[in-house]
Structure 1
Amino acid sequence: MKKYIVQKKPFLVPTTDGKRIEEHFGYASAGGGTISIAHMMAPPHWSEPFQKPEFDEYTYVISGRKQFIIEGETIVLHAGESIKIESGARIQYSNPFDEPCEYISVCTPAFSLEKVHREEQTI
């Protein structure tokens, strides 16, 4: 029995906001719940609603910039920088800039819609 898994076909998560999500490990790709690892591409001027996840999330920016509003504080990460956001923090992820942002996201336990707790967006 092999003690490893090589992921050659990550699950492409369907989105409606232009963001590309390739989940390499997690619920959608491997049925696992202890960790999720995804390669993401956020288009310019993209954002998500505020949320209060039940998982820690680590983000590593490969290119571009990504903005985080965490408990009211705005933080911008640039290529080569990373952040850990603890479970239960109120956060909004966005790319308000003119260039795409490529990044890796790792969630422990794995990301799930049931545990992300997104707020309703008001217009």
Structure 2
Amino acid sequence: MKKYTIQKSPFIVPTTDGKLIEEHFGNATDKNTQISIAHMVAPSGWSEPFQTPEFEEYTYIIKGKKQFIIEGETVVLEAGQSIRIEKNTRVQYSNPFEEKCEYLAICLPAFSMDLVNREEI
């Protein structure tokens, strides 16, 4: 039995906002509830509602910039930078910039709509 898994077919999460979400490991791909790893591309002008997730989220920016509003503080990350946001922290993610933003997101435990706690718009 192999002690590794190579992911060649990530789950493409259906979206309506132009954002590409490729989950490589996690709830949707392999039923892993402990961790999720996703490659994402957020188009210019993209944003999500505020949320207070019940998981830690690590984000690494590959290309472009991404804006975070964390407990009322605005933080902008650029390519090569990363951030860890503790669980139960109110945050909004967006890309108000001209170029698309490509990044990796890792959630502990894994991302789940039941744990994200998005606010109504």
TM-score computed with the length of structure 2 as normaliser: 0.99
Alignment of 1:73 onto 2:81: no
- The Cα of 1:18 is off from its aligned counterpart by 0.5
Alignment of 1:41 onto 2:45: no
1:62 corresponds to: 62
2:95 corresponds to: 95
CA distance in 1, matches of 2:4, 2:47: 35
CA distance in 2, matches of 1:53, 1:101: 21
* AA matched with 2:16: T
The number of aligned residues is: 121
1:116 corresponds to: 116
- The Cα of 1:41 is off from its aligned counterpart by 0.1
* AA matched with 1:16: T
Deviation readout 1:89-110 (Å, 9 max, x if unpaired): 0000000001000000000000
* AA matched with 2:70: I
CA distance in 2, matches of 1:120, 1:8: 35
CA distance in 1, matches of 2:111, 2:4: 21
Q: Secondary structure at the match of 1:110?
A: coil
Q: Name stretches of at least 5 consecutive residues in structure 1 with no aligned partner.
A: none
After the TM superposition, list the runs of 4 or more consecutive aligned residues in structure 1 that deviate by more than 4 angstroms: none
Percent identity over paired residues = 68
CA distance in 2, matches of 1:106, 1:76: 18
Q: Name stretches of at least 5 consecutive residues in structure 2 with no aligned partner.
A: none
